[in-house]
Amino acid sequence: MLVVNQCMTRRLRREYGVRGMAERRVKVTTEVGIQARPATVFVDTAAQSRAEVTIAKPGQGHHDAKSILQVLTMDVRSGDAIVLTSDDEAVLDRLAALVSGNGRIGENRAEIVDTADDD
């Protein structure tokens, strides 16, 4: 099951240095994580957006999700949690779908576990 956390609290915005961008917290459930070919598909999907798209592991720095080198350097494996951020929510949904289940866009449903916003 894919679990996405859309919590955009002020604390998280400060913590990750991202202001006003949508966020998806996703547990990677694909067998190989984001390695080799899946990383290429992930980066190609991110590149379809005109907006900035970043990927990070919780508590670590953000990386450009459109850069194959930056994505591969993160060494994202099955079971890892990642944080995706962008102004383009549609690309975030597509990327979240890619890293869950069997990796086919639209095959898995995301369960939103938190939508808090303490403005």
| 35-94: pLDDT as tens digits | 989 999 999 999 999 999 999 999 999 999 999 999 999 999 999 999 999 999 999 999
Average pLDDT over residues 103-108: 46
Whether residue 66 lies inside any domain: the answer is yes
CA–CA gap between residue 49 and residue 16 (Å, rounded)? 21
CATH number for the domain spanning 61: value is: 3.30.1340.10
Whether residue 12 lies inside any domain: the answer is yes
Bridge pairing between strands 81-86 and 110-112: unpaired
Q: Which domain holds residue 49?
A: 2-112
**Residue 119 CA from chain centroid, whole number:** 23
Q: Which two tokens stand for residue 4?
A: 């996405």
How many domains are contained in the chain?
1
Name the pTM for this structure: 0.70
Q: Is pLDDT at 117 greater than 80 in this prediction?
A: no
Whether residue 65 lies inside any domain: the answer is yes
Whether residue 38 lies inside any domain: the answer is yes
CA–CA gap between residue 71 and residue 9 (Å, rounded)? 26
Whether residue 85 lies inside any domain: the answer is yes
